[in-house]
């Protein structure tokens, strides 16, 4: 029945999107600054569901908010016992995967839409595309794959990957609020926020927002120098070491 | 990585105290301690290099004022030491790319520390027994020559009053530079016995000269690790340095009140135990068989 309604809507609207609702989003902070006292921050995303003029609000909205941090290359290693000691034997490279990934929804994603829809829209940690280098190929594996499962688990233990089925709260039937937790070790760079509105198991509206995490002050300088200008950083660090050593030898001089 | 500043400062003080007491750099204790509290072995090795550069510079300045450094010998050791450091940093980088760095650091520590520790315990127990029987505590072998003295390319080092082949000098310099870059140790606890045993460097110049080698290899290791692997943590190194130099002052005073053999026995036990701790880590099944390594940003 739902499928029928959808196809009918497509026919009527022709190439126009079928979306009859609009999402209006507002982030509490679009530029998160990390200084030396940064212990993590909770961002708040507010949103309003606006129905088309002449239409009324439905009462079965569901929302899925996916926040993805800057992409990076990671490697997951697995230890095995070799001659009595534990050695990294196997490894799998994860290519262009988000350094931070939060899937926040109004209900557990599995209850919001069917498995096919979730997979197609990459909603949920199990369905998000985590590209891996397998032999000469790039591709994602099933969620039960030991390396994929370990990767998601370890990232979750570091607070970098998370999924919460009760994070999106509707304040009124059309106004919602979601807290995006950024941990102390949050990576810096551009973050994307994708919001999908569901009703009756189908996606009916989509919107995106963006935010940026930047380091400020001394942290910025030290991190930049260490990453971009390693030689200079090394020389300055050595100079600092020599200075400390010299001060010590003068202060504690015993003659 | 979040590490408690006061814990690291306390560790710097404690290791500084021990290093001042025994007259060593303390890298072989500092690096393992950092690894045991959860700093990644790669960052620990790279940052402790900086810490040792500071403490050996402070020591070298003191010996320089007393004229207790053999500059010619130090330069000869250094020429090979820097090559050793570069080789060590290269191997470090290669092993890291192969995901075997942590294992190799662990294995190197087990091998080196258990062997050196066992030898030191054995030596000092023998000396203790000799002292009980009323014999001189240390065996002195004046003028005795070993195979090292038969090697060609002989050079005269006036300050130390020795006449030795350049080959063992280069060999020792290379080994210390290499081990320093790979393991985050200054190598004083290896270098001083090697210089005494193989080259017969007199006690007057041995410590000062070894500190110059440690200073230069550790300073160049810092620069090379920072330039190639981006692993040096300057803030971590600074906290270690401050703790280390202060602790060393108190340690040195305590050390002067103790007998040499007793000190060597204590140091030997300490070295051996750190080695065994590494062996334990390698043999016991880890809590998590999986681990993640950050390769690069995009």
- The DSSP string of A124-143 is STTTS---EEETTEEE---T
Question: Phi, psi at residue B293, to the nearest 5°?
Answer: -125, 135
Q: How confident is the model at residue A128 (pLDDT cuts 50, 70, 90)?
A: very high
Which pLDDT does position A10 carry in this prediction?
Answer: 43
Higher-confidence residue: B290 or A253? Answer: B290
Per-residue pLDDT at A16 exceeds 70: no
If you average pLDDT over residues A122-141, what whole number do you get?
90
pLDDT tier at B29 (50, 70, 90 boundaries)? confident
* Domains held by chain A: number: 2
Q: Which residue, among B69, B97, B216, B292, would best test binding to A if mutated, counting the most A CBs under 10 Å from its CB? A: B292
Q: Tell me what the mean pLDDT of segment B250-271 comes to.
A: 79
Q: Does A14 touch chain B (CB under 8 A)?
A: no
Contacts of A227 in chain B (CB under 8 A): 230
For chain B, which residues make up each domain, given as ranges?
5-132+149-283
| Residue A186 C-alpha from the chain's centroid | 10
Q: Is A15 domain-assigned?
A: no
Contacts of A39 in chain B (CB under 8 A): none
- What was the pLDDT predicted at A11? 45
pLDDT at A100: 95
Pairing of strands A189-199, A175-182: unpaired
Q: Which two tokens stand for residue B267?
A: 């140091």
CB contact under 8 A, A236 and B234: yes
CA dihedral B179, B227, B40, B97 (to 10 degrees): -80
C-alpha distances (whole Å) from B206 to each of A13, B61, B132, B188 are 89, 14, 29, 10
pLDDT tens digits, one per residue of B162-219:
888 888 889 999 999 998 888 888 888 888 888 888 888 887 788 888 888 989 999 9
A4 is a domain residue: no
Determine, yes or no, domain membership for A8.
no
Query: What gap in Å lies between CA B138 and CA B259, rounded to an integer?
Result: 12
pLDDT digit string, tens, across residues A154-166: 999 999 999 999 9
Same domain, A211 and A223: no
Interface touch A73/B298, C-beta < 8 Å? yes
In a domain, A3, yes or no: no
**SS3 sequence, chain B?**
CCCCHHHHHHHHHHHHHHHHHHCCCCHHHHHHHHHHCCCCHHHHHHHHHHHHHHHHHHHHHHHHHCCCCCHHHHHHHHHHHHHHHHHHHHHHHHHHHCCCHHHHHHHHHHHHHHHHHHHHHHHHHHHHHHHHCCCCCCCCCCCCCCHHHHCCCEEEECCCCEEEEHHHHHHHHHHHHHHHHHHCCCCHHHHHHHHHHHHCCCHHHHHHHHHHHHHHHHHHHHHHHHHHCCCCCHHHHHHHHHHHHHHHHHHHHHHHCCCHHHHHHHHHHHHHHHHHHHHHHHHCCCCCCEEEEEEEEC
Which two structure tokens, joined as six digits, stand for B15?
């290791």
Report chain B's mean pLDDT, rounded to a whole number. Answer: 84
Contact B59 A249 (CB under 8 A): yes
Of B55, B242, B298, nearest to A72 by CB-CB distance is B298
- Distances in Å between the alpha carbon of B160 and those of B73, B96, B113, B141, B213? 8, 40, 29, 17, 15
**Residue-range definition of the domain harbouring residue A247:** 216-255
Q: Which residue of B has its CA nearest to A37?
A: B2
Name the band, by pLDDT with cuts 50, 70 and 90, for residue B120. Answer: confident
CB atoms within 10 A of CB B260: 12
pLDDT at A255: 52
Mean pLDDT score, A7-29: 64
Q: Are residues A226 and A210 in the same domain?
A: no
CB contact under 8 A, B50 and A85: no
Pairing of strands A31-34, A202-215: parallel
What percentage of chain B carries pLDDT values higher than 90? 15
Q: Do A207 and A151 belong together in one domain?
A: yes
pLDDT above 70: residue A186:
yes
CA distance B48 to A155: 28
Contact B293 A77 (CB under 8 A): yes
Look at residue A5 and tell me if it is in a domain: no
Residues A202 and A81 in one domain: yes
On the question of pLDDT at B272 being above 50, the answer is yes
Per CB-CB distance under 8 Å, the chain A contacts of B298 are 70-73, 96
pLDDT of residue A102: 96
Q: Using DSSP, state whether A237 is helix, strand or coil.
A: helix
In this predicted structure, what is the pLDDT of residue A19? 52
- Tell me, what DSSP letter sits at residue A13? H
Nearest CA in chain B to A72: B297
User: In the prediction, which pLDDT does A146 show?
Assistant: 92
Based on the fold, state whether residues A57 and A73 are members of the same structural domain.
yes
A130 and A240 assigned to the same domain: no
User: Taking the CA atoms of chain B, what radius of gyration do you get in angstroms?
Assistant: 19
Report pLDDT for A151: 95
Bridging pattern class, strands A101-105 and A61-68: antiparallel
Q: Is the pLDDT of residue A14 over 70?
A: no
Same domain for A211 and A228, yes or no, is no
Strand partners, A67: A102, A193
Q: What is the pLDDT of residue A192?
A: 95
Could you report the per-residue pLDDT of A78-126, keeping only the tens digit for each? 999 998 889 999 899 999 999 999 999 999 999 999 999 999 999 999 9
Are A224 and A104 in the same domain? no
CA–CA gap between residue B121 and residue A224 (Å, rounded): 47
How close does chain A come to B178, measured CA to CA in Å? 18
Checking if the pLDDT of B145 tops 90, the result is: no
Look at residue A13 in the predicted model and tell me its pLDDT: 43
- Do A252 and A132 share a structural domain? no
Inform me whether the pLDDT recorded for B251 exceeds 90. Answer: no
Residue with tokens 């005494």: B196
pLDDT digits (tens, 9 = 90+) for B65-92: 888 888 889 999 999 999 999 999 999 9
* CATH label of the domain that carries residue A39: 2.60.40.3880
The dihedrals phi and psi of A229, each to the nearest 5 degrees, come to -135, 65
Q: Taken in order A28, A31, A34, A35, is the CA torsion positive or negative?
A: negative
Q: What is the largest CA-CA distance in chain A?
A: 96
Q: Are A192 and A237 within one domain?
A: no
Q: What is the pLDDT of residue B82?
A: 93
pLDDT above 80 for B15: yes
Give the pLDDT band of residue B25 (cuts 50, 70, 90).
Answer: confident
More confident position, B276 or B295: B276
d(CA A31, CA B1): 22
Q: By mean pLDDT, which of A168-172, A238-242, B18-22, B87-91 is the weakest?
A: B18-22
Asked whether the predicted pLDDT for residue A153 surpasses 90, the reply is yes
Cα atoms in the Cβ-side hemisphere of radius 13 Å centred on A211: 26
User: Contacts of residue A93 in chain B, CB cutoff 8 Å?
Assistant: 295
| Nearest chain B residue to A99, by CA | B297
Residue A239 and residue A246: Cα distance in Å, rounded?
10
Verify that A191 and A249 share a domain, yes or no. Answer: no
A79 touches chain B (CB under 8 A): yes
Q: Inter-chain contact B282–A86, Cβ cutoff 8 Å?
A: yes
- B79 alpha carbon, distance to own chain's centre: 18
Residue B138 has pLDDT above 60, yes or no: no
Q: What is the mean pLDDT of residues A169-180?
A: 92
Query: Are residues A112 and A223 located together in one domain of the fold?
Result: no
Task: Using a pLDDT cut of 90, give the percent of chain A over it.
Answer: 53
């Amino acid at each position: 029945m739902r499928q029928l309604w959808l196809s009918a809507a497509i026919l009527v609207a022709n190439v126009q999107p079928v979306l009859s609702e609009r999402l209006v989003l507002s982030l509490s902070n679009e530029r998160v600054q990390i200084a030396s006292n940064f212990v993590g921050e909770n961002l708040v995303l507010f949103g309003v569901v606006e129905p088309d003029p002449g239409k009324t609000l439905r009462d079965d909205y569901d929302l899925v908010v996916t926040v993805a941090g800057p992409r990076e290359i990671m490697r997951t290693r697995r230890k095995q016992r070799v001659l009595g000691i534990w050695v990294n034997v196997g490894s799998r490279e994860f290519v262009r995967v988000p350094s931070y990934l939060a899937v926040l929804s109004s209900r557990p994603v599995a209850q919001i839409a069917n498995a096919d829809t979730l997979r197609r829209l990459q909603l949920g940690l199990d369905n998000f595309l985590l590209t891996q280098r397998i032999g000469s190929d790039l591709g994602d594996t099933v969620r039960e794959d030991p390396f994929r499962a370990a990767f998601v688990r370890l990232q979750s233990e570091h607070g970098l990957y998370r999924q919460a089925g009760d994070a999106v709260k509707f304040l009124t039937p059309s106004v919602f609020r979601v807290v995006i937790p950024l941990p102390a070790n949050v990576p810096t760079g551009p973050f994307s926020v994708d919001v999908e509105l569901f009703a009756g198991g189908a996606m009916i509206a989509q919107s995106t927002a963006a935010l940026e995490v930047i380091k400020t002050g001394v942290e910025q300088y030290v991190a930049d120098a260490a990453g971009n200008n390693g030689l200079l950083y090394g020389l300055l660090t050595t100079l600092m070491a020599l200075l400390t050593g010299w001060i010590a030898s003068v202060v504690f001089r015993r003659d | 990585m979040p590490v408690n500043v006061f814990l690291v400062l306390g560790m710097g003080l404690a290791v500084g105290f021990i290093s001042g007491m025994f007259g060593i750099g303390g890298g072989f204790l500092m690096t393992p301690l950092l690894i045991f509290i959860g700093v990644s072995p790669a960052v620990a090795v790279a940052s402790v290099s900086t810490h040792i550069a500071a403490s050996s510079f402070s020591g070298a300045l003191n010996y320089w004022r007393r004229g207790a450094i053999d500059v010619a010998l130090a330069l000869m050791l250094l020429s090979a030491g820097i090559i050793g450091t570069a080789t060590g940093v290269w191997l470090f980088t290669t092993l890291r790319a192969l995901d075997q760095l942590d294992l190799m650091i662990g294995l190197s520590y087990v091998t080196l520390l258990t062997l050196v520790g066992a030898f030191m315990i054995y030596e000092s127990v023998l000396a203790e027994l000799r002292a009980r029987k009323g014999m001189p505590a240390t065996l002195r072998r004046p003028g005795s020559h070993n195979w090292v003295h038969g090697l060609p390319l002989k050079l005269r080092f006036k300050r130390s009053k020795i006449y030795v082949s350049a080959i063992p000098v280069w060999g020792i310099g290379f080994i210390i530079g290499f081990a320093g870059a790979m393991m985050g140790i200054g190598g004083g606890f290896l270098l001083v016995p090697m210089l005494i045993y193989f080259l017969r460097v007199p006690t007057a110049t041995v410590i000062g000269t070894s500190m110059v080698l440690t200073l230069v290899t550790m300073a160049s290791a810092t620069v090379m690790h920072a330039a190639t692997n981006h692993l040096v943590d300057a803030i971590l190194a600074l906290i270690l340095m401050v703790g280390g130099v202060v602790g060393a002052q108190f340690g040195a005073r305590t050390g002067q009140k103790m007998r040499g053999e007793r000190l060597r026995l204590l140091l030997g036990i300490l070295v051996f135990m750190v080695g065994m701790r590494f062996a334990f880590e390698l043999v016991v099944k880890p809590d998590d068989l999986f681990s993640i390594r950050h390769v690069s940003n995009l």
